[in-house]
Amino acid sequence: MATSDQLDCKIFVQADATIGELAQIVTNHIGGSLSGPEFGLTITTPDCDIELHKNPDQQEITPSGEDGFLFFQYILEFYPDTDCQRKDMIDVVGKILTMIWSRGWPGVAACDYESDLPHRGGYGSTPWFSTPVAATAKG
């Protein structure tokens, strides 16, 4: 299978973990393989490649409001395989989001299929939109 160069979805995450720890947690959860240096980590699954990097727009205090997630600490970018079906991407993104939330970490997906994800991808339905949370970055 060939991975598309078209960005399909982003998940913005605020986590009490280093980027390497987050990458390993996600990899273990979805059964992918992890490669690359810390500044360019890639998780490979049968359905997509997921690039994980620090958000260049991160702020020390996560702002409240519906767009506050844009300033979360990390971004996971999803590049599906060329023959990957939409339902498969919804499954992968949804699985990662629910794992992130189960750890108490804020996470929001930005994609064309947000309404098909659990809790609309986290947009507008999560507690961190109404209360600012301190950044808990380790790295």
Predicted local confidence at residue 125, as pLDDT: 59
Please give the residue that has the higher pLDDT: either 133 or 127.
127
Q: What is the DSSP string of 35-48?
A: ES-GGGEEEE-SSE
Highest mean pLDDT among 12-16, 120-124, 134-138: 12-16
Say what percent of the chain tops pLDDT 70: 79
Q: What are the boundaries of each domain within the chain?
A: 9-134
pTM above 0.85, yes or no: no
End-to-end, the C-alpha distance of the chain in Å comes to 33
pLDDT in tens, 36-91: 988 889 999 988 999 999 988 777 665 566 667 777 899 999 999 988 899 999 99
Third-level CATH fold of 9-134: TATA-Binding Protein (3.30.310)
Phi-psi map region of 30: left, alpha, beta (phi>0 left; psi -120 to 50 alpha): alpha
What does the DSSP 8-state code read for residue 70? G
Distances (CA, A) of 111 to 22, 27, 37, 76, 91: 21, 21, 26, 12, 13
Give the span between the Cα atoms of 60 and 119, in whole angstroms.
26
CA 29 to chain centre: 13
- Residue in the structure block whose two tokens are 């620090």: 54
Predicted local confidence at residue 56, as pLDDT: 82
